[in-house]
A and B are shown apart, each in its own frame.
Chain A
Amino acid sequence: MTKVLVLGALSDIAEATCRLYAKNGASLTLVARNKARLDSVAADLRVRGAKEVHVHAGDLAKLDAEKSVDAWAAELNGLDVVLLAYGLLGEQRELERDLKGAAALIDTNFRSAALWSLAVANRLEAAKHGTLVVIGSVAGDRGRQSNYLYGATKAGLGVLVQGIAHRLAPSGARAVLVKPGFVDTAMTAHIEKKGALWSSPEKIAALVRKAADRGKPIVYAPGYWWAIMSVIKSVPAAIFHRTKL
């Protein structure tokens, strides 16, 4: 059965993805900060059919990535899928004036996520097996005044994962960057008007799972975001700068 390690297991998308694996009898190791919440998620996944669920409460910014990945891989007796699903959205306007806050966002979204990705890549490469799936964002495709700090961290992480995918290719292991568009999660709860372009975490979870099984190293979720972002990227700056996107 599939062995899944989830870093940032309390995010909406991560939990929804875990449920898909649990249904098929997977073994999971969940990592996030809050122990009580992890226990609650783990109990749910067991009822849904997970073979075994381990939880580790800890701050991913402080744990030793290489040692931890080895320990968790041993606990699961191997790794088939590693999902990295944590990140902060942040308030762009506030962070422009609060550089400490900006640094914290960069640390979480890029520095920490990049180091965990590297640690996982080392492990998968050695095992010649397994897929690293990282949640990126379409916000990383073009810097926009409304959320470029968040976008920049996701863009950086995206290039890193793309590089890891390249590096892992000869080994048989894989790396995938999944770039969701608008997703109705706790991260975006403050946005009131939710139209046709919004997806549920469950929808994204199904695409994450698919991307983990097969396909290209960069996946837009849902796929139509590729078309939308192609247009947005191609708008000349002279025009783009007149918008408030």
Chain B
Amino acid sequence: MRFHPNNAIRSWGRVGNRQHQVARPRFAEDIRQWNANDPSPRLAVGNRRSYSDVCLCDGGQLVDMTGLNRFHSFDTESGVLVAEAGVTIDALLKTFVPMGFFVPVTPGTRFVTLGGAVANDVHGKNHHRVGTFGRHVRSLVLERSDEGSLRIGPRRRLDLFAATVGGLGLTGIISEIEIKLQPIPSSQLEVETLPCANLAELCQALAAGDADFEHNVAWIDCTATGASLGRGLITRGNWIDSGTHEAHRERGKTVPTDRFGPLLNSLTLRLFNSAYYANGCIKAGRSVSHYDPFLYPLDSLREWNRLYGRDGFYQYQCVIPEATGSEPIRDLLAQISAAGEGSFLAVLKRFGDVPSPGLLSFPMPGLTLALDFRNRGQATLDLLARLDAIVASAGGRLYAAKDQRMSREMVVRGYPKLGQFAAHVDPACQSEFWKKVHP
């Protein structure tokens, strides 16, 4: 395996520059031969859709896993797929939707690898039904620098498996994943859009919809204030029983440059959010939609992260525990709208009570809020610190995959099993996140 210098690699948030040595193996055999003989700090990365420092290793080696993109086997009866870790959900769907199967859990972009989905224990709009991605992993192969190649799972080395699911790539290099796919009756969903005039209505409707809808999420107008604070649109849906099994196609445009950053400001944000809400009110009701625009609305705009300009942006995602209610969400939104910051697409979702399998898994029962902030330097960091204080006092936590500037303290407070996790870290694995948490 040969590493080549690359100074262009950034996480999805595009904040800061790093120097990496990058190798792109095409077979697990390449990794196995190299792994035992090279103790240099390294991190395996997938399609680098994480916004934060969990997919960076400044000064170290990155093992780009996207070359391991083969399916090993598929059982059409049980839906069990064995695939290499670099397979993207995008590629998986193109092959398996026509056969009537879908990933059991998907994040809001299909451009993530299966390895990345495990390492961040991602969740989707159906979390209230099926929990996180890791819940559906039956086994995986981990390449350890000290122990070699291991197959682990819920029944084999459970301790190491629990550390690896949501383990941010630190417990070794995930090379293969065995996962049970979900049979789908068609590739379309019946989708309902439901406008809610304020936060209380929105939270109530979200909670009420969980029983009847497999997918249930809210877009929230993060610029609204006063009586309208927290207004938004619920979109919820179920797969429809009849119809074709048609995979998505390549579509959409690419944002050509990051020089439009100045176009994004308090005024345009407010205009966009108001228009989006108004449009949602007009379009309220039920319609049939292919899974692609419903589950992956942003994937039609390639490289959309360039919209935030040359300095990049921060994504912020927190979860507020069920017991604390929606009051902390109100406080967060009040801070955000007062600052005139926020994003085009802020998202609110209720996590269900299906336990997350990983020691560092993010989801827990409660409300999760996710939104972007353009990087305006200290002003942005100050705002996010104020949000941190609200999340911390509510007993909530932040999502490492999203938050580049999450402090060590927030990690320690939010993740009580951190000490247990640290014991399973591969001695050769390193990331910027881990350097910060475990200096």
Query: Which A residues contact B (CB, under 8 angstroms)?
Result: 12, 23, 36-37, 40-41, 43-44, 47-49, 186, 189-190, 192
Contact = CB atoms under 8 A, between A and B. Distances in A.
Contacts of A192: 4-8
B70 A44 contact: yes
A64 B196 CA distance: 74
Given A40-B70, A47-B71, 19 more contacts: A12-B26, A36-B29, A37-B27, A37-B29, A40-B72, A43-B70, A43-B72, A44-B72, A47-B72, A47-B74, A47-B95, A49-B95, A186-B67, A189-B23, A190-B4, A192-B4, A192-B5, A192-B6, A192-B8
A81 B4 CA distance: 36
Contact of A43 (B5, B67, B73): B73
B305 to A, nearest CB: 18
B24 interface: yes
A24 to B, nearest CB: 12
Nearest to A186: B26
B24 A189 contact: yes
Contacts of A37: 27, 29
A70 B366 CA distance: 66
Main secondary structure of the interface of B (DSSP, over half): mixed
B391 to A, nearest CB: 40
Most buried by A among B2, B73, B95: B95
A49 B76 CA distance: 12
A186 B29 contact: no
A190 B21 CA distance: 11
Contacts, number: 38
A2 to B, nearest CB: 18
Contacts of B6: 192
B72 A48 contact: no
Given A190-B2, A190-B4, A192-B5, A48 B95 contact: yes
Interface string B1-19: 0101111100000000000
Interface string B198-235: 00000000000000000000000000000000000000
A244 B30 CA distance: 34
B4 A47 contact: no
A43 B71 contact: yes
B439 to A, nearest CB: 30
Nearest to A191: B4
27 contacts: A12-B26, A23-B95, A36-B29, A37-B27, A37-B29, A40-B27, A43-B71, A43-B72, A43-B73, A44-B71, A44-B72, A47-B71, A47-B73, A47-B74, A47-B95, A48-B95, A186-B24, A186-B26, A186-B67, A189-B2, A189-B4, A189-B23, A190-B2, A192-B4, A192-B6, A192-B7, A192-B8
Contacts of B7: 192
Interface residues of B, number: 18
Contacts of A40: 27, 70, 72
Interface of B: 2, 4-8, 23-24, 26-27, 29, 67, 70-74, 95
A43 B176 CA distance: 14
Contacts of A44: 70-72
A55 to B, nearest CB: 14
B27 to A, nearest CB: 6
Contacts of A48: 71, 95
Interface-centre pick from A41, A49, A192 (highest chain B CB count, 10 A): A192
A43 B5 CA distance: 33
Nearest to A40: B70
B4, B70, B72, B74, most chain A CB atoms within 10 A: B70
A23 B67 CA distance: 19
Nearest to A47: B71
Contacts of A12: 26
Contacts of A190: 2, 4
Contacts of A49: 95
Given A36-B29, A186-B24, A41 B70 contact: yes
Nearest to A42: B70
A153 B354 CA distance: 61
A72 to B, nearest CB: 23
A245 B24 CA distance: 27
B80 to A, nearest CB: 12
Contacts of B5: 192
Nearest to A192: B6
A47 B83 CA distance: 10
Nearest to B95: A48
Contacts of B72: 40, 43-44, 47
A152 B27 CA distance: 31
A47 B80 CA distance: 12
A37 B30 CA distance: 11
B180 to A, nearest CB: 15
A49 B72 CA distance: 13
A192 B5 CA distance: 7
A101 to B, nearest CB: 18
Contacts of B67: 186
Contacts of B95: 23, 47-49
A132 B59 CA distance: 46
Contacts of A23: 95
A186 B2 CA distance: 10
B24 to A, nearest CB: 6
A170 to B, nearest CB: 40
Contacts of A189: 2, 4, 23-24
